[in-house]
Amino acid sequence: MTRIAFIGGGNMARSLIGGLIRTGVAASSIAVSDPQAEGRQALAREFGVAAYAENRLAAADAEVVLLAVKPQIMPAIREELREVFQRQRPLLISIAAGVRIDQLERWFGALPIVRCMPNTPALIGAGATGLCANARVSPPQRAQAQHILDAAGLTRWVDDEALMDTVTGIAGSAPAYFFALVEALEDAAVAQGMDRDTARALAAQTCLGAGRMLTESGESPAELRRRVTSPNGTTQAALESFARDNLAGIVAHAVAAATRRGGELAAELDKT
């Protein structure tokens, strides 16, 4: 039974712990640390995991340590964990946006490190995660990291670390883009006189249905789009409006902004 410690017990740690428990990992093999007593109690109550106020205690005998704190918190945890890590040499997994493997090596030592980028649908086992490993990660450790993230949904190895910020741009941050689109659909229907509940239910179910068709039908997004689009019909009118407003350009700019921000987060940490 691999002992796993989560440093930081917020949204993503909760999602990943939930995934592990759901797939049958024993709660007794999981420890988590977080400064908030309320958050710790909730995790212990909900999942039966051991929850600590001190990072060192959570990491004390862990074979795998998963860093689930905000990138900006890294400077605060590196001193206290470095010593434990030098003793134990765990597999270190980081989910922090932007933070590069060479930075993790500098802060925490020459460890086997997997940098990955999951997303919040991990909470319901429908996450999408990109992973990237340094050369110290052994094949069994690679499998171990994948097993942990598989519990949260789909996983894909991305060998070129430079593309990890792109993973953030199209997957880590991207659930928010779909939520924003549903908000916009809802607002548009309300502006036309529909009640908000009905608008939200129709738009959200459409998002679910489209997502399931994308992942389950084996068809390309372009083909699925074509099948909705009757010649000179309503969908064509909407898609032509999107094209006039340069939807593809708008999306490309947004993905570039998220990708760029990942690099900036790392650069800000280089100064600490």
Ligand X SMILES: O=C(O)[C@@H]1CCC=N1
Residues that bind ligand NDP (CB under 6 A): 7-12, 33-36, 39, 55, 68-71, 73, 76-77, 95-97, 117-120, 172
The site string for ligand X over 85-124 (x = CB under 6 A, - otherwise) reads ------------x---------------------------
Q: Is 119 annotated as a binding residue?
A: no
Q: Please name the residue that has the structure tokens 């929850």.
A: 51
Structure letter (DSSP) for residue 126 = -
Which CB, 9 or 112, lies closer to ligand NDP? 9
Give me the DSSP letters along 152-188: TEEEEE-S-GGGHHHHIIIIISTHHHHHHHHHHHHHH
Which CB, 44 or 190, lies closer to ligand NDP? 44
| Nearest distance in Å: CB 176, ligand X | 7
| Nearest distance in Å: CB 112, ligand X | 23
Q: Which residues partner with 8 through β-bridges?
A: none
The 10 Å CB-count burial string (b at 16+, else e) for 205-228 is eeeeeeeeeeeeeeeeeeeeeeee
| From the list ligand X, ligand NDP, none, partner contacted by residue 8 (C-beta under 5 to 8 A by kind) | ligand NDP
| Nearest distance in Å: CB 94, ligand NDP | 8
Q: Is 117 annotated as a binding residue?
A: no
Query: What amino acid occupies position 29?
Result: S
Q: Is residue 265 within 8 Å of residue 99, measured between CB atoms? A: yes
* Per-residue tokens: 3: 């002992």
Q: Is 9 annotated as a binding residue?
A: yes
| From the list ligand X, ligand NDP, none, partner contacted by residue 129 (C-beta under 5 to 8 A by kind) | none
End-to-end CA distance of the chain: 37
| Nearest distance in Å: CB 118, ligand NDP | 5
| From the list ligand NDP, ligand X, none, partner contacted by residue 95 (C-beta under 5 to 8 A by kind) | ligand NDP
| Nearest distance in Å: CB 107, ligand NDP | 13
| Nearest distance in Å: CB 51, ligand NDP | 11
Task: Sort strands 113-117 and 30-33 into parallel, antiparallel or unpaired.
Answer: unpaired
Q: Where are the beta strands (DSSP E) in the chain?
A: 4-7, 30-33, 50-52, 64-67, 91-94, 113-117, 127-133, 153-157
Phi and psi torsions of 96, nearest 5°: -70, 130
- Does 51 bind ligand X (CB under 6 A)? Our answer is no
Q: Is 70 annotated as a binding residue?
A: yes
**149-208: contacts with ligand X (CB under 6 A):** 168, 172-173
- Does 128 bind ligand X (CB under 6 A)? Our answer is no
Burial of 69 (0-12, 13-18, 19+ CB in 10 A): buried
Binding-site residues for NADPH: 55
* Annotated binding-site positions: 7-12, 55, 68-71
Site residues, ligand X (CB under 6 A): 97, 168, 172-173
